[in-house]
Amino acid sequence: MPEFSHQFRAMGTHVGLWLWHTNESLARQALANIEQNFIQLEARLSRFQPTSELSRLNRAAGQPVTVSPLLFDLVEQALRWRKRTGGIFDPTVLNALLAYGYDRSFELIAPATTHPSPPHPESPPPANEIKLDRARRKITLPLRAGIDLGGIAKGWAVQQAGQILGHFGPTLVDAGGDIVCVGAPPSGSAWLVGVDNPLESGTDLAILRLKNMAVATSSVARRRWQQNGSAVHHLIDPRTGAPADTDLVSVTVIAPRLPDAEIHAKVTLILGRQAGLAYLAGWPDVSALLVPQTGHPIFHGRFKEQTYVYSNDFTDAFVNLG
């Protein structure tokens, strides 16, 4: 069975699609359709596009807005995860992101960009102040509140792409390292997925063997810029309204679904090593690799069992905490 691939940019990242199928014409059309799906989803869900449905919702804060079923479901899911994570994952940190200079797609932010010091951060609005009316499909945000769906929207898009392509044959979807794989290559082996080393660009910490799983990585190593001479990054800690002060550089999570893996990786990174491991312990279907600033990675759960090879530099440093 031949393999077909397709590459494009969407949602601020490089997207790669791989599909095994017997019919070339059908396979290439399916891959092209997925690209169009990404473009359409970005046009609806991106906070960087002023005409997007999400931007219109944010501009209407204080008033009820009728939204599409997709936007309603994603906001509802995001708020549900806010409750599950004790507020560490919070879609209402948009104003903090803007205050720290993340006001455009990341590739447009100059590394040395200088922004005024942000004001004293406001606390995120209580969850009960965001009104969801499912019967009429209306969302009402509090005045001056804004939502950033960020990783959960990209995770949903990649998960959907994997499910659609999976009907045609074994497939893998990779959006900037956030990956969904369905089935297995015709050889019967697993998909081999590299985990980037955040402390040494261009190298892998590990190669994973995956079947019907998703993997997401959250990191503070790359999406960084300067604000008044100080380095800041894109992961806001809702408890402070500022970029998270964490002892971790990156967290890679394996889970059945990519949106869940995205959230677990982000929450663990914000919490830091000790509290992050305690959080992960509450999710038995999740495996993870934590990379502290000390450079001594830590396995959690079954991550080590799913590792094909890993860097000799860390062989003696891995600790199985599962």
Q: What is the pLDDT of residues 42-81, one digit of tens each?
A: 999 998 889 999 999 999 999 999 999 999 999 999 999 9
Q: Are residues 206 and 105 in the same domain?
A: no
Is a pLDDT exceeding 50 seen at residue 103?
A: yes
Closest CA to 251 of 212, 208, 299, 214: 299
Q: For residue 226, is it within any domain? A: no
Is a pLDDT exceeding 90 seen at residue 117?
A: no
- Beta strand pairing status for 298-300 and 287-292? antiparallel
Instruction: Quote the number of domains for the chain.
Output: 2
Q: For residue 170, is it within any domain? A: no
Q: Are residues 86 and 195 in the same domain?
A: no
Residue 306: CATH number of its domain: 3.10.520.10
Q: Are residues 144 and 203 in the same domain?
A: no
Q: Are residues 203 and 108 in the same domain?
A: no
Question: For residue 279, what are the CA distances in angstroms to 72, 253, 254?
Answer: 27, 13, 15
Computed over every residue of the chain, the mean pLDDT equals 84
Q: Are residues 137 and 194 in the same domain?
A: no
Q: Is residue 102 exposed (0-12), middle (13-18) or buried (19+ Cβ within 10 Å)?
A: buried
Q: Are residues 208 and 281 in the same domain?
A: yes
Is a pLDDT exceeding 80 seen at residue 172?
A: yes
The reported pLDDT for the residue numbered 191 is: 87
Q: For residue 174, is it within any domain? A: no
Q: For residue 92, is it within any domain? A: yes
The reported pLDDT for the residue numbered 240 is: 86
Is a pLDDT exceeding 90 seen at residue 123?
A: no
The reported pLDDT for the residue numbered 199 is: 78
The reported pLDDT for the residue numbered 125 is: 66
Contacts (Cβ under 8 Å, ≥6 apart) of 167: none
**Which of 22-36, 63-77, 224-238 shows the lowest per-residue confidence on average (mean pLDDT)?**
224-238
Residue type present at position 18? W
Range of the domain at 129: 53-148
Tally helices (H) and strands (E) across the chain.
7, 18
The reported pLDDT for the residue numbered 308 is: 60
Q: For residue 126, is it within any domain? A: yes
Residue 88: CATH number of its domain: 1.10.3980.10
What percent of the chain stands above pLDDT 90? 55
Q: For residue 98, is it within any domain? A: yes
Contacts (Cβ under 8 Å, ≥6 apart) of 173: 15, 16, 17, 18, 34, 158, 161, 162, 165, 179, 180, 181
Q: Are residues 58 and 137 in the same domain?
A: yes
Which of 116, 133, 148 terminates a domain? The answer is 148
Q: Are residues 205 and 299 in the same domain?
A: yes
Q: For residue 45, is it within any domain? A: no
Contacts (Cβ under 8 Å, ≥6 apart) of 245: 237
The reported pLDDT for the residue numbered 227 is: 60
Confidence band of 127 (pLDDT split at 50, 70, 90): low
pTM for the complete prediction?
0.87
